[in-house]
Amino acid sequence: MSTHSTSPSGKMWGGRFADTTAASVEEFSASIHYDSRLYHHDIMGSKAHARMLARQGLISDEERDAILQGLSEIEGEIDRGEFVFKPELEDVHMNIESALTARIGPAGAKLHTARSRNDQVNLDFRLYLRDEVDVLDELLCETQKAFARQARKYLGAVMPGYTHLQRAQPVLLSHHLLAYVEMFQRDRQRLADCRVRINIMPLGAAAMAGTGLPIDRQSVAEELGFSAITANSMDTTGDRDFALEVLFCLNLIQLHLSRLSEELVLWSSKEFDFIRIGDRYCTGSSIMPQKKNPDIPELIRGKTGRVTGALVALLMTVKGLPLTYNRDLQEDKEQVFDALDTVKSSLAITTELLENTQFNVQRLQEATVGGFMTATDLADYLVRRNMPFRQAHGVVGRIVALCQERGCELTELPLAELQEFSGLIEPDVFDILSVDGSVHSRQSDGGTSRVRVEEALHSVENALGITP
Ligand code: ARG
Best residue among 85, 126, 330 to mutate for probing ligand 1's pocket (most ligand atoms within 8 Å of CB) is 330
Mean pLDDT over 143-166 rounds to 97
**Residue 5 in this model has a pLDDT that exceeds 60:** no
Rounded to the nearest whole angstrom, what is the distance from the C-alpha of residue 117 to the centroid of ligand 1?
6
**Segment 279-289 mean pLDDT:** 84
Measuring CA to CA, how many Å separate 396 from each of 110, 375, 378, 379, 392? 83, 7, 7, 6, 6
Provide the 10 A C-beta neighbour count for residue 341: 11
* All structural domains of the chain: 23-113 (1.10.275.10), 118-153+171-366 (1.20.200.10), 375-464 (1.10.40.30)
Whether 438 lines ligand 1, by a CB cut-off of 6 Å, is: no
Give CA–CA dist 349/282, Å, rounded: 12
pTM over 0.85: yes
Q: Residue 451 gets which letter from DSSP?
A: H
Q: 356: closest CA among 431, 236, 275?
A: 275
**Alpha carbons 339 and 351: distance in angstroms, whole number:** 18
Ligand 1 pocket check for 89: Cβ under 6 Å? no
**CA 436 to CA 449: how far, in whole Å?**
9
CA of 230 to the centre of ligand 1 (A): 19
Mean pLDDT of 223-232: 98
CA of 286 to the centre of ligand 1 (A): 48
Strand partners, 293: 283
pLDDT tens digits, residue range 35-59? 999 999 999 999 999 999 999 999 9
3-state secondary structure of 364: helix
Please provide the DSSP assignment of 20-86 as one string.
Answer: PPPHHHHHHH--HHHHGGGHHHHHHHHHHHHHHHHHTTSS-HHHHHHHHHHHHHHHHHHHTT-----
pLDDT band (50, 70, 90) for residue 259: very high
Q: Report the candidate in 269, 114, 287 with the shortest Cα–Cα distance to residue 206.
A: 114
Whole-number Å distance between alpha carbons of 439 and 158? 8
Mean pLDDT score of the chain: 95
- Quote the CA–CA distance of 398 and 287 in Å, as a whole number: 50
Q: Tell me, what's the pLDDT at 311? A: 98
First-last CA distance in the chain: 61
CB of 56 closer than 8 Å to CB of 48: no
CB neighbourhood size of 114 (10 A) = 20
Whether 33 sits among the annotated catalytic residues: the reply is no
> Of ligand 1's atoms, which has the minimum distance to the CA of residue 207?
10
Is the pLDDT reported for residue 2 higher than 70?
no
Cis peptide before 324 (omega within 30 of 0): yes
Residue from 24, 164, 286, 444 carrying the catalytic annotation: 164
Query: What pLDDT score does 13 carry?
Result: 86
Q: Which band of pLDDT confidence, cut at 50, 70 and 90, is reported for residue 12?
A: confident
